[in-house]
Chain A
Amino acid sequence: MKKVLLLILLAACAQGCSQVKAWERGNLAKAEMAFSPDPLEDKIRNHVYHSKEASQTVGAGAGGGCGCN
């Protein structure tokens, strides 16, 4: 998995970071291009995964409860 992460990052960089002007960023500013377009949905799904899988997430804040079931 670490190799896959590195490969994808390299692929992204290999294509270069073109200088995107401010007025060319209309598509980037669309809601569906956000890293988290629906924070409440992400919160509930991350809560479920966190309770049912061993992985810990790194999000800010805390809480989440026991998940003892």
Chain B
Amino acid sequence: MQEKKPALAALSTAAMLLNSLAPVANANPPDQKTSVDYRYTNYKEGALEPSKVAEGSTERYTIDIHQVKVKTPVAGDTELTFSGQFETLSGASPWYVLPNADGEAVQVMTGATIDESRAEAGLDFRSYNERSESTLSVSYSGENDYTSFGFGYGGQWRLNKNTSTLSWGLNGSKDYVDATDAELYPGRPTEETKNRLGGYLGFSQVMTKNRLVGITLGVSNLEGYLSDPYKLAWVAGDIIQDSRPTSQNNVNAALRWREFVPAANAALHVDIGYYSNDWEISSGTVDLAWYQNIASNWQVVPSLRYYNQSAAVFYQPFYNQDRADGFYSSDYRLSEFSAVSARLKVARTFDRFYLNFLYENYSASGDHPALLSFDLLSLGIGTDF
């Protein structure tokens, strides 16, 4: 074996040192560690104004959510991630809308408090190479009246000395709808199905040593039972089942900008999204966040989100006459509205674990009498070893 000359050996050592010190921005190689993350979230919807409720409770849903994620290395370039989620839900929900004596829309809520739960489990298998990676995902979600099986397969190619990344993905799900109390409420669906298939392409670029920008374009198609199994519509004095088209095509685009501000030791996040479907709903989202690092491993993250959507072509709060196409929905989620959400997160990193606390307040405005507001409190904790 030929002995290296001292100068060459020194250069080689320096190069190796530089490579080992150079963080791979825009990449996230397996760290050969096992990590465990847990998050508890309490979601509570605000009560409706009594003047907007014709019948039923003004109190809405409260949901407690437990999430856990465990990531563990399988080999030097592969890792497995298990994620689980369990939710308990209780409260009343909007049922249908009717006109009051003045012709104004007022909400009828479900009479009885609903108590139910949902469990979700997912498994991701990730394989990483120097220039690319891919992830295969499977998931399951189960409620007493709704079951969903999902899959996803996505990947990345890193180009131009890791300054550019091309990403892609395919995902889909098969859902089964079997509404409760269908024997008591004729028209409620049983043994219905819904299929979803989607895909996306993304590109991100290191613009400067403090700026990373990415754009994603996605399409998806939904086929099957797309109505809400529990909602009703008031049509010229009759109450009928929520009825929507059995197909929906969606297009969306997202732009994500990350800017590190060295003078402030902080990072600015700008996320902008656009969405459109063939029910003539289009929406825009702007989400701004400021990640402020402060002394002793503390971080404070104030953020603000604005969302606006147009109404579905067949949506009305109530119908004074029949529609030729037979589609009826008075669901507030298909109405035109805008929403503002303010969040504050405080995080602390310790030697072996992290802790963070998040609060969010969301408030929607528009013409529907049951538009949503909610408060969300969340506590996250995790460690790796």
Q: Residues of A at under 8 Å CB distance from B?
A: 1-2, 4-5, 8-9, 12, 15-20, 22-30, 32-35, 37-41, 43-45, 48-49, 52-66, 68-69
The majority secondary structure among interface residues of chain B is: strand
Determine if A2 and B39 form an interchain contact, defined as CB atoms under 8 angstroms apart. Answer: no
Shortest distance from the beta carbon of A25 to any chain B beta carbon, whole Å:
4
What size tier do the contact residues of chain B reach? 35 or more
The chain A residue with its CB closest to the CB of B140 is A63
Asked whether any CB of chain A lies closer than 8 Å to the CB of B25, the reply is yes
The chain A residue with its CB closest to the CB of B308 is A1
The 5 closest A-B pairs by CB, nearest first: A62-B150, A58-B218, A29-B23, A28-B25, A62-B173
The majority secondary structure among interface residues of chain A is: loop
Determine if B207 and A15 form an interchain contact, defined as CB atoms under 8 angstroms apart. Answer: yes
Determine if B283 and A28 form an interchain contact, defined as CB atoms under 8 angstroms apart. Answer: no
Determine if A23 and B22 form an interchain contact, defined as CB atoms under 8 angstroms apart. Answer: yes
Question: Interface-forming stretch among B50-58, B100-108, B209-217?
Answer: B209-217
Determine if B143 and A66 form an interchain contact, defined as CB atoms under 8 angstroms apart. Answer: yes
Asked whether any CB of chain A lies closer than 8 Å to the CB of B120, the reply is yes
Question: Interface-forming stretch among B72-80, B197-205, B233-241, B316-324?
Answer: B197-205
Shortest distance from the beta carbon of B275 to any chain A beta carbon, whole Å:
4
A34 contact set on B, CB distance < 8 A: 28, 258
A38 contact set on B, CB distance < 8 A: 356, 380
With contacts A5-B253, A20-B206, A65-B118 taken as known, whether A54 is within 8 angstroms of B283 at the C-beta atoms is yes
Determine if B220 and A65 form an interchain contact, defined as CB atoms under 8 angstroms apart. Answer: no
B153 contact set on A, CB distance < 8 A: 60
Asked whether any CB of chain A lies closer than 8 Å to the CB of B93, the reply is yes
Shortest distance from the beta carbon of B206 to any chain A beta carbon, whole Å:
5
With contacts A32-B291, A33-B212, A41-B358 taken as known, whether A17 is within 8 angstroms of B312 at the C-beta atoms is no
